[in-house]
Amino acid sequence: MTTALITGATAGIGAAFARRLAADGHDLVLVARDTKRLSEQATELHDRHGIEAEVLTADLSTEDGIAAVEARLSQPRQPVDLLVNNAGFGNKGRYLEVSMADELTMIKVHIEAVLRLTSAATASMRERGRGGVVNVASVAAFVPRGTYGASKAWVVQFTQGAARDLAGSGVRLMALCPGFVRTEFHQRAGMGTDNIPGWLWLDADKLVAAALTDLARGKSLSIPDPRYKALMGAVKLAPRGLLGGITSKTGRKYGPK
Rounded distance between C-alpha atoms, residue 207 and residue 183, angstroms: 12
Rounded distance between C-alpha atoms, residue 172 and residue 53, angstroms: 23
Q: Which residues pair with 55 in a beta bridge?
A: 30
Active site residue 148: yes
Q: Which residues pair with 4 in a beta bridge?
A: 28, 82
The one catalytic residue in 95, 148, 228, 254 is 148
DSSP element (H, E) containing 12 = helix 12-23
Position 223, amino acid: I
Nearest to 247 by CA among 149, 138, 111, 137: 149
What 3-state class would DSSP assign to 37? helix
- Catalytic site positions: 148
